[in-house]
């Protein structure tokens, strides 16, 4: 399960995708496509508790994305609704943080000894 969360987080944040137009970007799927019948067709969005039923708590997600800087699941705003970043009709998240900040998610640089 932990490996799945790490893989899902990497895909969700575009770490495994290169620039738009590449084969990897062309294979990107929306949340609705990934979740299939589990995605609520009537509203097009899911409640945070529904997401966390499979993906775990914010603490779990923060651990899974700990290598990212900034960590998108560790926020001074607390446990925001997943839909604030993860849109059902988009393949990549739109960071709600960027409504106030100008973040680009990157893997942390290893600490020098």
CATH code of the domain containing 95: 1.10.1130.10
* Residue 77 tokens, joined: 């705003």
Residue 41 in domain: yes
Q: What is the pLDDT of residue 47?
A: 83
Contacts of 18 (CB under 8 A, 6+ apart): 24, 25
Residue 57 in domain: yes
Cis peptide bond N-terminal to 70, omega within 30: yes
93 vs 111, more confident: 93
**Structurally, how many domains does the chain consist of?**
1
73 vs 110, more confident: 73
């Amino acid at each position: 399960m932990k490996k799945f969360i790490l893989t899902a987080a990497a895909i969700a944040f575009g770490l495994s995708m290169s620039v738009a137009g590449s084969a990897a970007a062309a294979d990107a799927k929306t949340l609705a496509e990934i979740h299939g019948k589990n995605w609520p067709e009537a509203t097009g969005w899911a409640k945070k508790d529904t997401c966390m039923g499979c993906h775990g708590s914010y603490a779990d997600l923060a651990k899974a994305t700990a290598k990212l800087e900034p960590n998108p699941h560790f926020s001074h705003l607390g446990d925001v609704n997943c839909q604030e970043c993860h849109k059902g009709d988009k393949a990549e998240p739109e960071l709600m943080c960027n409504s106030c900040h100008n973040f680009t998610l990157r893997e942390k640089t290893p600490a020098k000894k």
